[in-house]
A and B are shown apart, each in its own frame.
Chain A
Amino acid sequence: MSDSEPVVLVVEDQKDLAETYYLWLRDDYSVTVAGDGDEALEKLDEDVDVVLLDRMMPGLSGREVLEEIQARGIDCRVAMVTAVDPDFDILEMGFDAYLSKPVMRDQLTQTVEKLLERRAYDALLQEYYSLVEKAATLQASKNQSELEASEEYSDLLERIEQHHEELSETLGGIEDDDDFIAAIRELSDVERN
């Protein structure tokens, strides 16, 4: 993730809705709007952090756009905007969240924030694992007194502790079932890629 504003791609065929979402989000994010699935794929690149994807559109469906995002291996989070209330199936399909129409302003901004937070969680978990693995390598190759004398080792332990705390704070330590499933699904996705 870059230090600049996160990029949100809004894919919505109803112009007035697309405009509304744009106005709600533009203060905090860099927002791009696409009027259908094909335009979405044109505007989709590595810079996109979050996609808001309407389920029912003329041309490519939300599902098809999602499949293309996955096929291209673009690391963004995708919220589906739908008229019906779906179940966990939606999360399993690969969507990271869903919004039921009509979408309220608070819902929209909270969902985008949540998805960015999940992304931060996944990145943090990856760093945490790397540190734990490094520490384990030292533990497996050095004896206790060598470990105690090693500055590298004590530094690693400190960073592991910091990451552990940060992970506990991100997503409230995963208090919510959707976050839990999304975090686990992310592990399987990484494995498949």
Chain B
Amino acid sequence: MSNETEHVYDLSGVLGGEALSGVRPGTSILLSGPSMTGKDALLFEFLAHGVGRGESGIILTTEGEGEDTLREIESYTPDADPSLLAAIDCRARSGRETEHLDSGAVVYRVVDPSDLTGIGINITTHLDRIRSSNATACRMGLTSLSTMVRYSDRETVFKFCHVLLQRLESAGFIGLCTLNSEAHDDQTVQVLKQAFDANIEFREHDGDRQVRVLGIGSQPSEWQTLG
């Protein structure tokens, strides 16, 4: 855990509700639910909101393109400094690539989501960048664990999450990962949930997309409808 002055992460600007207003550094949150319930959009908003508060952000996208993903995140916070952001995507033609965008953001590429070492090295490079800049806080997003499971297996992905989230925890950062709960059996979902401190559950209810927060505070929050 971080010994520096405790930076408390305020995630409430995105979802509302008290549960997310004072998230302690090092917390990891799983965003899980069926497909098309808005997990990615919420994840991007969490990152954008952090950047708007002067925090750094890094997004790992297993299927999307890095620069597009950064643009989507920036669209939620047009006034923020884009150089606080970095993306890792899995679309390198060969080996590993690094691209510095005009905005000051960086896109790192690996060949596919099974290159865990490459992903780890890129994360480390971003952590170095944060250390040498003024940002002392960072939110890391990962979408999605489901694709990672497809490229390796649930045991490897569980361990990867554990190691990654421990690294983020000792740096005092926040980790947010998405999981498509329909893509796996119950047991796999249960296993992966165990790697996280908290869970934001998504569901479709009467034509609305709803979320609730579990694991932060003693009680699960009420279901709330996403706008």
Contact = CB atoms under 8 A, between A and B. Distances in A.
Contact of B116 (A135, A160, A187): A187
A128 B124 contact: no
B8 to A, nearest CB: 20
Contacts of A188: 114-117, 156
Interface in B152-187: 152-153, 155-156, 158-160, 162-164, 166-167, 169-170, 185-187
Given A136-B194, A160-B194, A173-B169, A125 B159 contact: yes
B92 to A, nearest CB: 15
B41 interface: no
Contacts of B119: 184
Given A133-B191, A139-B190, A167-B166, A177 B124 contact: yes
B220 to A, nearest CB: 13
Contacts of B186: 139-140
B198 interface: no
A151 to B, nearest CB: 20
Interface residues of A, number: 29
A140 B186 CA distance: 6
B159 A180 contact: no
Given A136-B187, A136-B194, A190 B156 contact: yes
A129 B190 contact: no
Contact of A140 (B117, B121, B169, B190): B190
B117 A92 contact: yes
B127 interface: yes
Given A136-B190, A140-B190, A187 B166 contact: no
A174 B117 contact: no
Contacts, number: 84
Contacts of A184: 116-117, 119-120, 160, 163-164
Given A92-B121, A137-B187, A140-B187, A129 B159 contact: yes
A191 B152 contact: yes
Interface string B1-13: 1000000000000
Nearest to B121: A88
Contacts of B170: 172-175
A181 B121 contact: yes
A183 interface: yes
Contact of A183 (B128, B152, B163, B187): B163
Contacts of A136: 187-188, 190-191, 194
Given A173-B166, A180-B123, 12 more contacts: A128-B162, A129-B159, A135-B194, A136-B187, A140-B187, A173-B1, A173-B169, A173-B170, A174-B163, A184-B117, A187-B160, A188-B117
Interface of A: 88, 92, 125, 128-129, 132-133, 135-137, 139-140, 160, 167-168, 172-175, 177, 180-181, 183-185, 187-188, 190-191
10 contacts: A92-B121, A132-B158, A132-B191, A133-B191, A139-B190, A140-B186, A180-B124, A181-B124, A184-B116, A191-B152
